Structure 1
Amino acid sequence: MFSYADKLRAVELYFKYGKKASRVVQELGYPSTRQLRRWARIIQAGGVLPESVPRKPRYTSEQKRAAVEHYLNHGCCQAFTRRSLGYPSDWLLNRWLDELHPGKRRLISVVQNHHAPFDTEVKRQAVRELCTRSESAREVAQKVGVRREVLYKWKNELIGDEAYRSMRKNKDPSFQEERDTLLDEVARLQQQIRRQQMELDILKKAEELIKKDPGISVQSLTNREKTQVADAFRNTCSLTELLSILQLARSSYFYHRAALFAADKYAEVRTVLVEVFNSNYRCYGYRRLHAMLRYEGMRLSEKVVRRLMAEEQLVVSRSRRRRYSSYCGEIGPAPDNLLARDFTAGAPNQKWLTDITEFQLPSGKVWLSPVVDCFDGKVVSWSVGTRLDAELANTMLDGAISTLKPGERPVIHSDRGGHYRWPGWLTRVNAAGLIRSMSRKGCSPDNAACEGFFGRLKTEMYYGREWSGITLDSFMLHLDAYIRWYNERRIKLSLGAVSPAMYRQQLGIR
């Protein structure tokens, strides 16, 4: 079932994940937790995993030949052979007969059918066919699997000879009329059963093809969906019968069939849509994708973009995670909240926002400390590290201060975390002439614009992705690349569907 390399890979992940078998099975999809632990015990004991286990035959060739010879030499009775030897089953014995003595089983089965027991209902049905037959009695007997004499014996036991002759020779018109009426009723019931079976098959096919919920009816299907179902049954049923069951006009069927097989006029749009979605961290909704398509010269309505996204299964992943808090308690007087939740600015470097967020990975933790400009949401400076210390915040602040022009003294707003009250931070703020502003205690909406940046970052780059096997250094490179893409390429509808860098370039700001 599994190759030797697959087994070694599973055992390596088992020890790597701290002997958590369920996690390995969830990631690889194989094997069972019990089988994985057994492989691990073999490896720990210094053994070698078996590549494959040959299946041992249940019966030897001598036992096979002995059973066949006993069957042929003792009246060709399967039950007697099975009771005498204790093996095999009837199916296995028949297979051995076909293998060692081809053609014997067919001749023997005909003889055994003569002695096979028949239920009373089977006898009644056979006699009924004998009395109303249109072919010879020998042909009726062959269908049942008995001799002609046995068939007539059943007839004498059940109805007698006199009743049989009256049924066969009765030429009374009323009898013939009643017989024809019954035959017509049987044909009508068979047609009704066939129609109901077709309706059931159609509904099952609709659930499979169109992904409809169980319990649907034919009336709930659209004409295009009915056309798809009808095409699936064209090889087994007539078109007239299918359209009658589906309650679909013939003209509507051919109209929708031509539309289904016509060339997709959105084929090029689909390709560009998927490429834009995948190249932008799979985070763009239909509004941003609609704006990007307009840049490409493709003018479509937002409804068409939403429909194409649904057909191509372009879904933005969403998740909620616990947020990191850097609040360490009141260690000194805090400045007033100067922004008062007004995160708008008329020019760059007037209002800055900062905070720290945490990323939990299988290999450890990473922290990000950015400075966000309220003018256009650009990340002015950022620092990424594996330690939550003063250097993380101070390095970010030094990078932001280096971008200021002479005379610029922005307000830098933060929460009440201890990173923004340490002496190193305060010294840098005072030396650059920055104006401090802090949120109220435990009130994250006071820094909503920065929190929104963290939410977009984690939704688009972090959540919904598999980070197992990624080192901390590699993740920090991913994070740095995302922020650069966020500044230079990610479009914002509030800026007119352009990125912060493009927006500043349009305004002539450097």
Structure 2
Amino acid sequence: MHTYEDRMRAVELYIQLGKRVRATIRELGYPTKNTLVGWYREYERRQDLPIGSAPRPPKFSEAQKQVALEHYASHGRCISWTMRALGYPGRATLTAWVREAFPETRTVSTGTRGPGHHPAAAKQAAVVGLYCREESAEALAKKVGVSRPTLYAWKNQFLGAEAPATMRRKKSAALDPEIEELERQRAALQRDIRELQIEHDLLKTASELIKKDLGGDLQSLTNREKTMLIVALKNQYRPSALLMRLRLARSSYFYQRARINLEDKYLPVRRAMVDIFERNHRCYGYRRLAASLTRYSILISEKVVRRLMKQEALAVLKPKRRRYSSYLGEISPAPENIINRDFQASAPNEKWLTDITEFQIRAGKVYLSPIIDCFDGMVISWAIGTKPDAGLANTMLDAAVETIADSKVRPIIHSDRGGHYRWLGWLERINAAKLVRSMSRKASSQDNAACEGFFGRLKTEFFYPRDWRAYTVTQFIDEVDAYIRWYNETRIKMSLGGRSPIEYRRNLGLMP
């Protein structure tokens, strides 16, 4: 309690220091923040402070006190029972009331029943029942009306703490050592089978649910993916066994499970990404997927696209290295390398590139001969056949010349040193169309890198990811033709601002 002078001194200093609570308390060393503010408000209201504090009214009335004491006296003198029945007061308050009203009572009972309420014969019968084990100790304690620890306390009272808690009969004779060894082996085999079954089911579920080729390594999964496996298998195995097998912490499991149960705000984006990826030969990486999503007014960063692609297992397959060579030797003089690795063009039909590539399927070999425009990578013309002969290259060249028949532009046509581009028929067509020849240097594929790059994209996006064993040669040729048309009309290129070559030319007004 603080005196009147202490309280007035604190209020005056509080006003003097500009009503700064901390400074006042630091100066005086008392009181608390709320107490000081309360004193100030009382002073502001009355322009003074009360000299003494008013006595606090009792929490319970005299009538409530008498009801509690009557209930205590008439219901077995039990504190706990009275508190549960009336809902008031606290244990300390009721104990004080009882000791005041019943001074002759030295010990106040706080429990419903104690061990002293049971006769010795009942205790002995309970201990005998505990040793007979006709029922469990919990059931026996409930039947007698005591707790299980009380039952064992009676056992210690009659027999001592060193006595065993059961009288189960020991086996009359030990098992044969060979039988015991077989039992141990059987138990070990059962454990091994259970572990192998868990691992088999985890790998199978990972293959079906996550769609990953793990190679038997479950530790390469992310915590989210491991949580998905546990959720899928928790009805078959204990979660603790799955957590141990996957080496996943329980806290990580519960955190990831809560995140999975939340509403996925990227669900529409995932569906759009999968649709775009499947419709475009499963060859779009995260940059082109992000650009494609922009067309649908879905604006997300490339980092988010990469993360969602990883979660949806949208992976572009890596290319396989295998090249076709048409070099037959120096059968005619080679022209100068005019292109000289400069594959930039300021207008269409300024620089053309050509080459031949090979596809090998079960039904046979197929060859593609295209002409690529350096302006935007568009395939000007192409020929597909089963033989890499001069007719394949000549057909492609005739189709390309027709596209510039009404134009005065005469492009440079660049090729490697293959024999198709050095025969008389090819040279006659080049001279008739007034085209300018250019050839790569010997054994230097980099001199025709832009055309080689088209072949690489073609095989990575179209050829390698698919199984062609059931296709005939004619069916395969139709598929290649359809891909090239899709390449020109639909497939976007980041270097063209996220447009296809035909869209790019139409945007510039170069095509109707």
Query: What band does the TM-score fall into relative to the shorter chain?
Result: 0.5 to 0.7
Distance 1:226 1:491, change over 3 A: closer
Q: Secondary structure at the match of 1:248?
A: helix
**Equivalent-residue separation in structure 1 for 2:350 and 2:420 (angstroms):** 22
**Identity between Structure 1 and Structure 2 (%):** 51
C-alpha deviation, 1:313, in angstroms: 1.6
User: 1:460 — aligned with what?
Assistant: 461
Q: Paired residue for 2:162, among 167, 175, 191?
A: 175
Deviation per CA, 1:177-197: give whole Å up to 9, x if none: xx68xxxxxxxxxxxxxxxx9
Q: State the one-letter code of the partner of 2:261.
A: F
**Residues 226 and 248 of structure 1 are in contact (CA less than 8 Å); yes or no, is this contact kept in structure 2?**
no
**Equivalent-residue separation in structure 2 for 1:391 and 1:224 (angstroms):** 55
Query: Which blocks of at least 5 consecutive residues in structure 2 are unaligned?
Result: 1-127, 136-154, 166-190
User: 2:284 — aligned with what?
Assistant: 284
**Equivalent-residue separation in structure 1 for 2:446 and 2:431 (angstroms):** 26
**Residues 283 and 316 of structure 1 are in contact (CA less than 8 Å); yes or no, is this contact kept in structure 2?**
yes
User: 1:361 — aligned with what?
Assistant: 361
User: 2:439 — aligned with what?
Assistant: 438
- Please show how residues 386-397 of structure 1 align to structure 2 within 5 Å: 386-397=386-397
- Please show how residues 247-262 of structure 1 align to structure 2 within 5 Å: 248=251, 253=254, 257-262=257-262
Distance 1:509 1:214, change over 3 A: closer
Distance 1:309 1:336, change over 3 A: same
**Residues 338 and 439 of structure 2 are in contact (CA less than 8 Å); yes or no, is this contact kept in structure 1?**
yes
C-alpha deviation, 1:137, in angstroms: 9.0
C-alpha deviation, 1:262, in angstroms: 2.6
Q: Secondary structure at the match of 1:298?
A: coil
> Aligned pair count?
323
Distance 1:262 1:329, change over 3 A: same
User: 1:451 — aligned with what?
Assistant: 452
Distance 1:428 1:227, change over 3 A: closer
- Please show how residues 21-420 of structure 1 align to structure 2 within 5 Å: 134-136=130-132, 173=160, 175-176=162-163, 229=230, 246=249, 248=251, 253=254, 257-404=257-404, 405-420=406-421
Q: Secondary structure at the match of 1:353?
A: strand
Q: Secondary structure at the match of 1:175?
A: coil
**Equivalent-residue separation in structure 1 for 2:222 and 2:335 (angstroms):** 65
C-alpha deviation, 1:312, in angstroms: 1.8
Q: State the one-letter code of the partner of 2:477.
A: M
**Residues 319 and 464 of structure 1 are in contact (CA less than 8 Å); yes or no, is this contact kept in structure 2?**
no
Q: State the one-letter code of the partner of 1:425.
A: W
Distance 1:172 1:474, change over 3 A: closer
Deviation per CA, 1:272-319: give whole Å up to 9, x if none: 111111111111111111110011111111122112212222121223
Distance 1:392 1:377, change over 3 A: same
Deviation per CA, 1:200-237: give whole Å up to 9, x if none: 99xx79966788986969xx985996798589769998
**Equivalent-residue separation in structure 1 for 2:218 and 2:415 (angstroms):** 56
Query: Which moved further from structure 2: 266-275 or 331-340?
Result: 266-275
Deviation per CA, 1:330-376: give whole Å up to 9, x if none: 11210111111010001011110000111111111111111000000
Distance 1:319 1:133, change over 3 A: farther
C-alpha deviation, 1:431, in angstroms: 1.1
**Based on CA coordinates, which of the two structures has the bigger radius of gyration?**
2
**Equivalent-residue separation in structure 1 for 2:235 and 2:361 (angstroms):** 54
Deviation per CA, 1:223-257: give whole Å up to 9, x if none: 99679858976999899xx9xx95639xx94x765
**Residues 223 and 248 of structure 1 are in contact (CA less than 8 Å); yes or no, is this contact kept in structure 2?**
no
Q: State the one-letter code of the partner of 2:309.
A: M
User: 2:506 — aligned with what?
Assistant: 505
**Residues 360 and 366 of structure 1 are in contact (CA less than 8 Å); yes or no, is this contact kept in structure 2?**
yes
Q: State the one-letter code of the partner of 2:384.
A: V
Q: Secondary structure at the match of 1:465?
A: coil
Q: State the one-letter code of the partner of 2:390.
A: A
> What TM-score results when the alignment is normalised by the length of structure 2?
0.55
**Equivalent-residue separation in structure 1 for 2:239 and 2:383 (angstroms):** 70
**Equivalent-residue separation in structure 2 for 1:349 and 1:303 (angstroms):** 38
C-alpha deviation, 1:171, in angstroms: 6.5
**Residues 207 and 214 of structure 1 are in contact (CA less than 8 Å); yes or no, is this contact kept in structure 2?**
no
